[in-house]
């Protein structure tokens, strides 16, 4: 029985019309589950703590080789809806662009891979399996999304040999960049506790602001590194300093600050945490002001070294676009930081210029081209 090819543009539009603002499912995963089930994929909802997730597999469990895809259907809030040129969930095409929240990040990527995977298994059933892990929690806390899917897979004996994450990765033209790793990220909350007093008698107080500023200067002035083979230099950014003091003649008892470190593979959360606490202890000894540090971990840095899998993806991109994608580790975090503990992972997707913006939109032609790239990746992987 012959089947018409799945149209990734129409599927993207249908997904955009699902108002799946984190943590709402909005009907997006239901739509995908129905489509994939109808094409012979075994689908399971792996919801955890109210977070919606979908696992879909074509082929037998524990196959010799299994190609995995990871993506998300949740989107960030629209912001001021009145500032949009068109309804944020219209999914309409105007002047060659498909409009709506999630058009770029990343309902188009999910639609392109789903369309490629369904057409592929219908036309050339592979010797192996294809797994899709689609979460509704990438834009949220990230604790019960892809992590929940991977936990469930481990418990069920399901595994991916390699995984492609369909996040937008191309800065200017589709095909100009793919991600083979990401920097790690941690946020440090610092609270300084001193002794309140009158600003005219500073010797009777213990000013937490002076100590905090001294510590922050030490941290911000420190060169973490100069980059590594595949990563730029690590960065530390101060993001806020607060004391909530309304009086000009009072030395406050407490002050706080927050900083974020984006770090390469020369560091780990453990090594950076040790350094932060050592610096705080030094200033505490010098000033008598007590520091309390709370460290929130977004993820460790990781790298998929250039090799067979990266060459496979890069070769497929070049065959369809004529571009040699740069192998990059730039940008923020993605769910690839969780997948990397399961199997080799790379990221490739659309141009991301409008993601998270008012009037988010994607060039219609890019969606079809992305499906063609994903189709070639599947063909080359199994053949």
CATH of the domain at 234: 3.30.70.360
Domain boundary among 247, 274, 299: 299
* 138 is a catalytic site residue: yes
Specify if 94 maps to a domain: yes
What integer is the mean pLDDT of 36-49? Answer: 98
For CA atoms 342, 343, 347, 349, give the dihedral sign.
negative
What integer is the mean pLDDT of 4-19? Answer: 98
What integer is the mean pLDDT of 155-178? Answer: 97
Verify that 66 and 102 share a domain, yes or no. Answer: yes
Query: What CA–CA distance (Å, rounded) separates 366 from 303?
Result: 27
Domain that residue 349 falls in: 8-182+302-382
Q: Is 353 exposed, middle or buried (0-12, 13-18, 19+ CB in 10 A)?
A: middle
Residue 333 has a pLDDT of 87
Domain tally, the chain:
2
Q: Is 39 exposed, middle or buried (0-12, 13-18, 19+ CB in 10 A)?
A: middle
122: pLDDT strictly greater than 80: yes
Verify that 160 and 277 share a domain, yes or no. Answer: no
Which of these is catalytic: 14, 33, 74, 335? 74
Residue 62 has a pLDDT of 82
Convert the pLDDT of each residue in 206-255 to its tens digit: 999 999 999 999 999 999 999 999 999 999 999 999 999 999 999 999 99
Convert the pLDDT of each residue in 194-210 to its tens digit: 999 999 999 999 999 99
Verify that 24 and 166 share a domain, yes or no. Answer: yes
Verify that 288 and 274 share a domain, yes or no. Answer: yes
Verify that 37 and 137 share a domain, yes or no. Answer: yes
Q: What percent of the chain has pLDDT over 70?
A: 100
Which of these is catalytic: 138, 158, 347, 363? 138
What is the CATH classification number for the domain harbouring 23?
3.40.630.10
Verify that 135 and 72 share a domain, yes or no. Answer: yes
Query: What CA–CA distance (Å, rounded) separates 287 from 63?
Result: 62
Convert the pLDDT of each residue in 276-319 to its tens digit: 999 999 999 999 999 999 999 999 999 999 999 999 999 999 99
Picking from 162, 121, 185, the residue whose alpha carbon sits closest to that of residue 348 is 162
Convert the pLDDT of each residue in 337-379 to its tens digit: 999 999 999 999 999 999 999 999 999 999 999 999 999 999 9
| 1 pLDDT tier (thresholds 50, 70, 90) | low
Verify that 71 and 114 share a domain, yes or no. Answer: yes
Residue 243 has a pLDDT of 94
Verify that 367 and 280 share a domain, yes or no. Answer: no
| 131 pLDDT tier (thresholds 50, 70, 90) | very high
Domain boundary among 251, 282, 299: 299
Mean pLDDT of all residues belonging to the chain: 96
Structure tokens at 13: 């539009």
The distance between the two most distant Cα atoms of the chain, rounded to a whole number of Å, is 89
88: pLDDT strictly greater than 70: yes
Verify that 42 and 93 share a domain, yes or no. Answer: yes
Query: What CA–CA distance (Å, rounded) separates 353 from 95?
Result: 17
Verify that 42 and 167 share a domain, yes or no. Answer: yes
Residue 374, CA distances (Å) to 85, 110, 170 in order: 31, 11, 15
Residue 289, CA distances (Å) to 97, 144, 191, 275 in order: 57, 38, 10, 18
């Amino acid at each position: 029985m012959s089947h018409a090819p799945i149209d990734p543009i129409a599927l993207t539009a249908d997904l955009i019309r699902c108002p799946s603002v984190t943590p709402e499912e909005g009907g997006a995963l239901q739509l995908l589950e129905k489509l994939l089930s109808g094409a012979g994929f075994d689908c399971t909802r792996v919801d955890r703590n109210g977070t919606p997730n979908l696992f879909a597999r074509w082929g037998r469990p524990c196959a010799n080789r299994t190609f995995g895809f990871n993506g998300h259907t949740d989107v960030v809030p629209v912001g001021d809806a009145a500032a949009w040129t068109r309804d944020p969930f219209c999914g309409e095409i105007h002047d060659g662009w498909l409009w709506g929240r999630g058009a770029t990040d990343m309902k188009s990527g999910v639609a392109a891979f789903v369309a490629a995977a369904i057409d592929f298994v219908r036309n050339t059933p592979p010797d192996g399996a294809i797994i899709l892990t689609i979460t509704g929690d990438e834009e949220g806390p990230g604790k019960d999304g892809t992590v929940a899917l991977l936990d469930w897979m481990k418990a069920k004996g399901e595994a991916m040999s390699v995984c492609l994450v369909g996040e937008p990765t191309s800065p200017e033209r589709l095909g100009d960049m793919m991600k083979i790793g990401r920097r790690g990220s941690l946020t440090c909350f610092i609270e300084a506790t001193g002794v309140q007093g009158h600003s005219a008698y500073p010797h009777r107080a213990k000013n937490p602001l002076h100590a905090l500023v001294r510590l922050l200067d030490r941290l911000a002035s420190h060169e973490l590194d100069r980059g590594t083979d595949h990563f730029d230099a690590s960065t530390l950014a101060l993001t806020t300093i607060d004391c909530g003091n309304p009086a000009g003649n009072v030395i406050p008892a407490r002050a706080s600050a927050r900083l974020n470190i984006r770090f390469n593979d020369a560091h780990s959360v453990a090594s950076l945490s040790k350094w932060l606490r050592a610096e705080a202890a030094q200033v505490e000894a010098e000033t008598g002001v007590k520091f309390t540090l709370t460290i929130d971990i977004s993820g460790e840095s990781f790298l998929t070294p250039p090799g067979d899998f990266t060459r496979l993806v890069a070769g497929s991109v070049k065959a369809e676009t004529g571009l040699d994608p740069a192998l990059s580790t730039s940008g923020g975090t993605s769910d690839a930081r969780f997948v990397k503990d399961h199997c080799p992972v790379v990221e490739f997707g659309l141009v991301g210029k409008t993601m998270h913006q008012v009037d988010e939109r994607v060039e219609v032609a890019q969606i079809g081209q992305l499906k063609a790239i994903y189709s070639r990746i599947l063909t080359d992987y199994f053949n």
